[in-house]
């Protein structure tokens, strides 16, 4: 049966804020996201990462998306993924970092698939895969690359599939059709990852533990809110949060921000940008 984290457990999962930290010590979030078809996902993910506490947020996106990301938030450091080098994604002793790969990826696109699969071997930090990167992972080859990452101890892996993506990952690994509460631990064991199967109730597992987050709202059922969640969890990872705790806390903050946005804008009218702007309320709720 799934556990539900207490307010105390959630508060304890938030990395402390060092008052003397500079932006690099706060944590660097690398977002690799946003193909020409879905540039907005990169902007939403990265902006959420900033609000969730990353000290430095950089975005590598398709050349067509660079201008949009910069215009959305001038404080985001955006560049084309044509110039991308995975050597950039490495944590130094006092400079924690994490990478989010896949929001706004087209799972059929060659560049997106290459970047998704490369990230598994190349990103030497905690790595979260979301969106179209999960489509690239949902093959026997993707599964083998994920397992190889685990053996090489490159860093923790977090997967955030919605129901459709979880189904594709399960089919690729021969896992029987099952409920999200059963699929999350089965996928976690197969991929050697922390898996959050998203939905009205989100189930998070590392293969042994199973936690549910059921405090969200139907206001979150809008295209782009998953990209926001990826940025939140990525930012917590970049700040050095323990990976399973980052996934549980990130899903909870996302749910609380959704509720706060719904209180301001109404259940029907919330858009993902409102959820990002409501994140400060969610952090106040956590710290209060």
* 104 annotated to bind ligand: yes
Please report whether residue 105 would count as binding ligand NPW according to CB under 6 A.
yes
Angle at 48 between CA 283 and CA 3, to 5 degrees: 55
Residue with tokens 């599939």: 161
DSSP 8-state code for residue 219: G
Please report whether residue 203 would count as binding ligand NPW according to CB under 6 A.
no
* 202 annotated to bind ligand: yes
CB-wise, 106 or 122, nearer to ligand NPW? Answer: 106
The binding track of 187-206 with respect to ligand ADP, each residue x by CB under 6 A or -, is -----------xxx-x----
Choose the contact partner of 40 out of ligand NPW, ligand ADP, none; CB within 5 to 8 A by kind.
Answer: ligand NPW
Choose the contact partner of 216 out of ligand NPW, ligand ADP, none; CB within 5 to 8 A by kind.
Answer: ligand ADP
* 199 annotated to bind ligand: yes
* 207 annotated to bind ligand: no
Choose the contact partner of 38 out of ligand NPW, ligand ADP, none; CB within 5 to 8 A by kind.
Answer: ligand NPW
Distances (CA, A) of 150 to 118, 194, 228, 252, 281: 14, 12, 26, 26, 36
Please report whether residue 49 would count as binding ligand NPW according to CB under 6 A.
no
Sequential DSSP letters for 135-196: HHHSSHHHHHHHHHHHHHT---EEE---HHHHHHHHHHHTPPP--HHHHHHHHHHHHTSEEE
How many beta carbons lie within 10 A of that of residue 105, not counting itself?
30
Distances (CA, A) of 226 to 41, 130, 199: 9, 8, 10
Which residues contribute to the site for ligand ADP (CB under 6 A)? 162, 198-200, 202, 216-218, 220-221, 223-227, 229, 254
Which residues contribute to the site for ligand NPW (CB under 6 A)? 38, 40-41, 103-105, 131-132, 162-165, 223-224, 226-227
């Amino acid at each position: 049966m799934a556990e539900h984290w207490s307010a105390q457990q959630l508060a304890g999962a938030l990395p402390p804020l060092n008052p003397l930290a500079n932006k690099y010590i706060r944590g660097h979030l690398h977002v690799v996201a946003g193909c020409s078809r879905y540039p907005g996902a990169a902007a939403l993910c990265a902006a959420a990462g900033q609000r969730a506490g990353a000290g430095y947020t950089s975005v590598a996106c398709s050349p067509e998306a660079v201008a949009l990301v910069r215009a959305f938030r001038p404080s985001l450091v955006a560049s084309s993924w044509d110039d991308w080098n995975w050597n950039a994604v490495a944590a130094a002793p006092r400079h924690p970092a994490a990478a989010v790969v896949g929001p706004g990826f087209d799972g059929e696109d060659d560049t997106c698939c290459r970047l998704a699969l490369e990230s598994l071997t190349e990103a030497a930090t905690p790595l979260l895969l979301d969106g179209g990167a999960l489509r690239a992972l949902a093959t026997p080859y993707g599964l083998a690359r994920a397992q190889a990452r685990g053996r090489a101890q490159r860093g923790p892996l977090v997967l955030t599939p919605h129901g459709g993506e979880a189904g594709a990952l399960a089919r690729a690994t021969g896992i029987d059709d099952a409920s999200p509460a059963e699929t999350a631990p089965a996928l976690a064991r197969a991929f050697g990852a922390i898996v959050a199967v998203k939905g009205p109730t989100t189930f998070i597992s590392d293969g042994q533990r199973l936690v549910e987050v059921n405090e969200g709202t139907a206001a979150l059922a809008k295209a782009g809110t998953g990209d926001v969640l990826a940025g939140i969890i990525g930012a917590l990872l970049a700040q050095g949060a323990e990976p399973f705790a980052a996934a549980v806390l990130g899903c909870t903050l996302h749910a609380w921000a959704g509720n706060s946005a719904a209180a301001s804008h109404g259940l029907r009218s919330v858009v993902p940008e409102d959820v990002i702007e409501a994140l400060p309320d969610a952090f106040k709720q956590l710290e209060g």
